Amino acid sequence: MSFDTGKAGPNTDQPTLDPKDWDVFRASAHGLLDACLDQLQNAATHPWQPVPEHVRDSYKLSTDGHTFGDLAATLQSSVLPYATGNTHPRFFGWVHGTGVAEGLMSEMVAATMNSNCGGRDHGMVYLEREVIDWARRQMGFPDGASGILVAGTSQATVIALHAARLRKLGSAMRSEGNGAARLVAYAGASVHTSTQKALELMGIGKNGLRLLPEAGGSVDVAKLRACIAEDRNAGFKPFVIIGTAGSVDFGTYDDLETLADIAKEEALWLHVDGAFGAWTRLAEEPWRSLTDGIDRADSIACDFHKWMFVPYDCGLVLIRDEQDHRNAFAARPSYLAAMDQGLAGGDPWFCDYGVDLSRGNRALKVWSTIRTHGAKALGAAITANCRQAELMGQLVSRTDRMDLAKPIISNLCVFTADSTLNAKEQSALNSRIAQGLQLSGLAVFSTTVASFKGEKVTCLRAAITNHRTQTTDIHDAIEAVRALRDDLQV
């Protein structure tokens, strides 16, 4: 048996979408790669900038095609410069990862391979298992725990909470849905909105989420216990406690050891949202201890695209008991039957552990990042960010009229630029400073509302998950805040 494996030449008799001239394509592609490398190497000179109208106009698609040379030139001139800006060393807004250079090369290789990671027997499936297993070990989960790479923590939360519900209701849930069960979940008030969304999607609704008051940044456990008992008496069906490791507004951490104790006593599933904060597991003390007890959770949701610096998008859900995970998602119609050999081998398949059947390759960029840097260097970058937040806090405290709104716990710094003003004036000033600095390209802070001296104040907020930030960037950013504040006040 022999096949002609020669490349498609001028004799092909069918239309193909491959380049007509690979040499021309290659030359443009090399140029584009250099442009990408230049932009990453000089990330400090590429802050966010607004997309001008004429550039947006140039994005319009028409019915006609264009050459690849034209595409490459357009990508370079009109697309590359208008990124979110989170590759910049003074980007501290929201919680954005900064992307490592290995990501660029991995995405190129991944696109070449065009793997479908829903299952079957091929390289990327093995790589994804390796990535999950590495994360499992970092989190202290037992051998044989299960996991899957997903778009982000929001999706990971849906998967984890669905598995938790299935354990509570049994496999009948897959045919009957929630039935008459009035399921309820418990979390501290600062839980991320993605948890609420997950419960809405699951038909439980946001009223099924008990938002508990917090004491010292962690769920008030007496109130949690009382609320569970009350709910049981009233005929509700508690099924999960959600602990937060790194809350998005102020960077607080629930006491996971205590939540694990309560979950055990109450026979409830403990899920941990550790979108960014779970990775303090790799950091030095005192930050590592913030996530003590995470190894006792039933599931963890976290992101590689935030504090593990892997380019977007990639999140992870880990589930302690593989059976819980599989029971909730396995479904294989006959056309997807597994075989013991050949391409349809490779069991277990990832499509039996999540929502997606066809799945892109998220593993390679994560694997490449971990393989290049190792846990130690990644942990050192996380530790450095915590120290930078600490330094930012000191600079804020030392600058006249500036004040921290919340204590700094790990990598978040929330402050007001002028605490001598009333709440309304402060809110307006802080918002204007955030916008002004973003537009000038000097630094990106976002904002959040904090109760400060008994009043709600819109504050400046830095979440430092940035491996490019240097000590001078912290000094420069706070100096830029001060300078703009003084300008706005004359």
Give contact residues for ligand PLP (rule: CB under 6 A).
Answer: 95, 152-154, 192, 194, 246-248, 273, 275-276, 303, 315
Between 248 and 395, name the residue whose CB sits nearer to ligand PLP. Answer: 248
- Least distance to ligand PLP, CB of residue 154, Å: 3
- Least distance to ligand PLP, CB of residue 306, Å: 6
Cα–Cα distance measured from residue 27 to residue 30, given in angstroms and rounded to the nearest whole number: 5
Cα–Cα distance measured from residue 221 to residue 227, given in angstroms and rounded to the nearest whole number: 10
- Least distance to ligand PLP, CB of residue 98, Å: 14
In the block, tokens 């002609």 appear at 4
Cα–Cα distance measured from residue 114 to residue 125, given in angstroms and rounded to the nearest whole number: 13
How do 315-319 and 299-303 pair as beta strands? antiparallel
Q: What is the CA radius of gyration of the chain?
A: 25
Q: Is 162 helix (H, G, I), strand (E, B) or coil?
A: helix
Between 89 and 97, name the residue whose CB sits nearer to ligand PLP. Answer: 97
- Least distance to ligand PLP, CB of residue 147, Å: 15
Joined tokens for residue 351: 């499509």
Between 90 and 271, name the residue whose CB sits nearer to ligand PLP. Answer: 271
Nearest to 465 by CA among 136, 142, 97: 97
Nearest to 463 by CA among 387, 377, 385: 385
Between 385 and 426, name the residue whose CB sits nearer to ligand PLP. Answer: 385
Between 266 and 313, name the residue whose CB sits nearer to ligand PLP. Answer: 313
Judge if the upstream peptide bond of residue 50 is cis by omega within 30 degrees of 0: no
Joined tokens for residue 171: 């496999």
- Least distance to ligand PLP, CB of residue 242, Å: 10
Nearest to 37 by CA among 87, 95, 3, 1: 87
Helix (H) or strand (E) holding 11: none
Nearest to 139 by CA among 304, 22, 367, 346: 304
Cβ neighbour number for residue 215 with a 10 Å cutoff: 13
Between 276 and 287, name the residue whose CB sits nearer to ligand PLP. Answer: 276
Cα–Cα distance measured from residue 141 to residue 436, given in angstroms and rounded to the nearest whole number: 45
Q: How many angstroms separate the first and last alpha carbons of the chain?
A: 84
Cβ neighbour number for residue 30 with a 10 Å cutoff: 11
As a dihedral over the C-alpha atoms of residue 108, residue 110, residue 113, residue 114, rounded to 10 degrees, the angle is -110
- Least distance to ligand PLP, CB of residue 131, Å: 16
CB 311 within 8 A of CB 97: yes
Q: Is 455 helix (H, G, I), strand (E, B) or coil?
A: strand
- Least distance to ligand PLP, CB of residue 299, Å: 14
Helix (H) or strand (E) holding 370: helix 363-398
- Least distance to ligand PLP, CB of residue 120, Å: 27
- Least distance to ligand PLP, CB of residue 1, Å: 48
- Least distance to ligand PLP, CB of residue 466, Å: 15
Between 275 and 480, name the residue whose CB sits nearer to ligand PLP. Answer: 275
* Residue 295 φ/ψ, nearest 5 degrees: -70, -10
Between 304 and 367, name the residue whose CB sits nearer to ligand PLP. Answer: 304
Between 247 and 448, name the residue whose CB sits nearer to ligand PLP. Answer: 247
Calculate ∠ Cα 395-400-406, nearest 5°. Answer: 55
Q: Which ranges constitute the DSSP H helices of 140-239? A: 153-169, 173-176, 193-201, 221-233
Residue closest to ligand PLP, measured at CB: 152
- Least distance to ligand PLP, CB of residue 247, Å: 6
- Least distance to ligand PLP, CB of residue 223, Å: 21
Cα–Cα distance measured from residue 11 to residue 356, given in angstroms and rounded to the nearest whole number: 39
Between 87 and 426, name the residue whose CB sits nearer to ligand PLP. Answer: 87
Between 228 and 275, name the residue whose CB sits nearer to ligand PLP. Answer: 275
